[in-house]
Amino acid sequence: MKRKICIVVASYYPDVTRFLLKGTTDFLKKNGIKNFKKIQTTGVFEIPVLIAKNINKFDGFIALGCVIKGQTPHFHYISKSTINALMKLSIDYKKPIGNGIITCLNKSQALNRSSPNKKNKGKEAANGMLSVLNFKLYG
């Protein structure tokens, strides 16, 4: 069965999300998924809206982005509301959404978590989404 996957990328930190996107697309291709579309937005807060607008067009989604803690509580509000919205969409529509939105204390930590030479969170999000998409009951 041919699966259609949508990758929604927030480009606010392009040097971070470029690595997340590469990890994601490399993993999908390695696992035989060639039918994917990329949608770009500016920040992570917009990702759930774009997924909601496209929820019936794709079998699974991967959300990629980065939120770095600053001097205000903005970090906590954006992170929590975005993650909660993604989970609600996934449950309500029974569609897997891989969470590759990294929340970090500083830019160095963000680059480390998106590095192609280490544990790339984009790759991990793609793996999580595929594992739910391909879930089978045994027994």
Q: Class of the 5-133 domain?
A: alpha beta
Q: Is 74 a catalytic residue?
A: yes
68-80 tens-digit pLDDT? 998 888 889 999 9
Distance CA 127, CA 25 (A): 11
Note the pLDDT tens digit of each residue in 76-125. Answer: 999 999 999 999 999 999 999 999 999 999 999 999 989 877 789 999 99
What confidence category does residue 48 fall into, taking pLDDT thresholds of 50, 70 and 90?
very high
- 14-18, 35-39, 73-77: segment of lowest average pLDDT: 73-77
- pTM of the entire predicted model: 0.94
CB atoms within 10 A of CB 45: 18
Which residue among the candidates 4, 29, 74, 80 is catalytic per the annotation? 74
The two three-digit tokens of residue 67, written as one number: 């939120």
Contacts of 33 (CB under 8 A, 6+ apart): 3, 5, 130
Burial class (CB in 10 A: 0-12, 13-18, 19+), 42: exposed
